[in-house]
Structure 1
């Protein structure tokens, strides 16, 4: 509970904690040179006095957006569009970082070096070993696209299971019984939920499960080896586009011979020929919500809880799905 006193100086804070004024100043200005345990003690005392910290000294906060790979897909671009739009509206500096666990610096050390006031993690399963330390750091941490039951960490997730279930049910309603699923090489929680929904739906319908793990196998070879398949579900639109390309090369007509459903609804997906049936999730909105959550936390001087939200998904039916015309594939 904050004390209802008049303005307090960093000298007073330092005296009460029995530490140097320089240490308090480093924390107030979000600089390095202070151990994490001492930083937590100082932050607790600052909150006790309702001391408005400088996030950081240059007055404009820096919010880190951390990804595990510098190779940015449409997925990353849509998330970052929402994040950047929000930060720029509030005159906040975005700081894009690419980090791989096991390096010379921990992720927290990197964030301290960059004087970041908060952090948004994209595909946080790649940083799972770093999350406990981040949760204890005092920095607001928001995860995008994965939940984490760690106190002090918020997230914006999506209902991947429900979305994939809608896709499977659509194909079953169109008479397809030979439905394959192509997995991404990245096994995130969301990807697992999408595959689980496919498996649950086709199993309940009494259909067989046919799975390919991308990118270890060639999609063209997979389609050649499984001529009985009449429909394909994929982890994301990137893979669905590769399926369309492979089908074209094999003279397999979409959707007459093969129905295809993606996941994400990238901007290009509606411009394909034929336009892709997919599952839409609000990626840009999720990015904006994560950024707003960080800014609200900083504005409240670290009071309250970061949100944990699961956004709905939507089936978008376009031209890559149609009723099954193959009697073998529909039996």
Structure 2
């Protein structure tokens, strides 16, 4: 009431401003926020929860890992949540725990969350990890097929297939006849999406698909695979499913005398902070974590607050290819030397042209 009086507006307008509703002018919004700041006003979410029947909280199920991708996506979710007015409650799962996702969802439901985000990159359905119980709140599944029995499930991709296709196409555009792929562990949805993007890019150009090689996301696994690929001089381009494996791969190629990018071009995935500072600086694709999180939470909040309204159209995340010095045009392949008796010229200089049939007949 005091905020409304000081700002010269109605109490309903103040409510609209703090609920971030439309149809409030920028000037009115500014006056309300300035009045609230002057009076030291802060929204009472507990009171709002009692009035609305909602806790104004969203639960997040995330894999407990220090890997760059999952950790960065969780940070993106936390940033995006600040703009929604909802608090976050995070429950981490462990890789290899078959009941981890279902247990995390049950824990969040007991806390009364209004919606749930499942940011779980590993396919655990085969081992009983899918959410099979009744879930009476909307669920957002990021980067994976829907795996819940929620009454309303929102699924949005993280664009890994589009990014992988862009990385592979970049190498093909440089003249490489095909591209090898150092894949991540295939129980990860993201790793499978990157394989699909790589394959679709090769198929679109009619290129042969080399055998898939697989690492475990670590630089050590990239190094081990790199030692094998270095021995094959037909390999001129490699797309690695993350930057860490690409860095290990480059180390192995360099030790084997295969120059990057003169002999072999390498593209990574993620654009981790160190990617710009290795030798050579790594060409990679940057994951749009913030954009994915904002888009996903926009859809989830819509599902929470407007349960009877169709979801708005989802937008594809942007594709951001970061060009650095680890890629170059395909090396020229040496022309095979022809042996004697096949018309080859000697090293002593140009030869006279072979006599024609008429010349031979004149000599007879």
Structure 1 portions without partners, runs of 5+:
1-28, 31-50, 56-60
Q: 2:88 aligns with which of 90, 94, 97?
A: 94
Over 3 Å counting, the alpha-carbon distance change for 1:228 and 1:290 in structure 2 is same
In 2, are the aligned partners of 1:220 and 1:250 still within 8 Å (CA)?
no
TM-score of the two chains, using structure 2 as the length reference = 0.64
In 2, are the aligned partners of 1:199 and 1:209 still within 8 Å (CA)?
no
Over 3 Å counting, the alpha-carbon distance change for 1:326 and 1:76 in structure 2 is same
Q: Which has the larger radius of gyration?
A: 2
In 2, are the aligned partners of 1:175 and 1:324 still within 8 Å (CA)?
yes
In 2, are the aligned partners of 1:158 and 1:312 still within 8 Å (CA)?
no
CA distance in structure 2 between the partners assigned to 1:228 and 1:171 by the alignment:
15
1:272 aligns with 278
CA distance in structure 2 between the partners assigned to 1:242 and 1:149 by the alignment:
34
Q: 2:123 aligns with which of 123, 126, 142?
A: 126
1:164 aligns with 164
2:316 is the alignment partner of 1:321: no
CA distance in structure 1 between the partners assigned to 2:329 and 2:172 by the alignment:
9
1:71 aligns with 65
Q: CA deviation at 1:233?
A: 0.8
Size of the alignment, in residue pairs? 274
In 2, are the aligned partners of 1:63 and 1:93 still within 8 Å (CA)?
yes
Cα deviation, 1:237-280, whole Å, max 9, x if unaligned, reads: 23222222333443432211211112233343334333222223
CA distance in structure 2 between the partners assigned to 1:206 and 1:286 by the alignment:
31
CA distance in structure 2 between the partners assigned to 1:105 and 1:183 by the alignment:
28
1:84 aligns with 78
In 1, are the aligned partners of 2:242 and 2:268 still within 8 Å (CA)?
yes
In 2, are the aligned partners of 1:182 and 1:234 still within 8 Å (CA)?
yes
Cα deviation, 1:273-296, whole Å, max 9, x if unaligned, reads: 332222233111111222333334
1:236 aligns with 242
CA distance in structure 1 between the partners assigned to 2:77 and 2:84 by the alignment:
11
Q: CA deviation at 1:104?
A: 11
Q: CA deviation at 1:137?
A: 1.4
Q: 1:117 aligns with which of 111, 114, 117?
A: 114
CA distance in structure 2 between the partners assigned to 1:192 and 1:275 by the alignment:
26
Is the partner of 2:329 in helix, strand or coil? Answer: coil
Q: CA deviation at 1:181?
A: 0.8
Bigger shift: 281-290 or 246-255? 246-255
Q: CA deviation at 1:144?
A: 1.3
1:259 aligns with 265
1:145 aligns with 143
User: What value does the CA root-mean-square deviation take over the aligned residues?
Assistant: 3.4
Cα deviation, 1:139-194, whole Å, max 9, x if unaligned, reads: 12111122439761112214433332332222222222253111101444443343
Structure 2 portions without partners, runs of 5+:
1-48, 336-364
1:185 aligns with 185
Q: CA deviation at 1:131?
A: 5.2
The structure whose RCO (Cα within 8 Å, separation 6+) is larger is 1
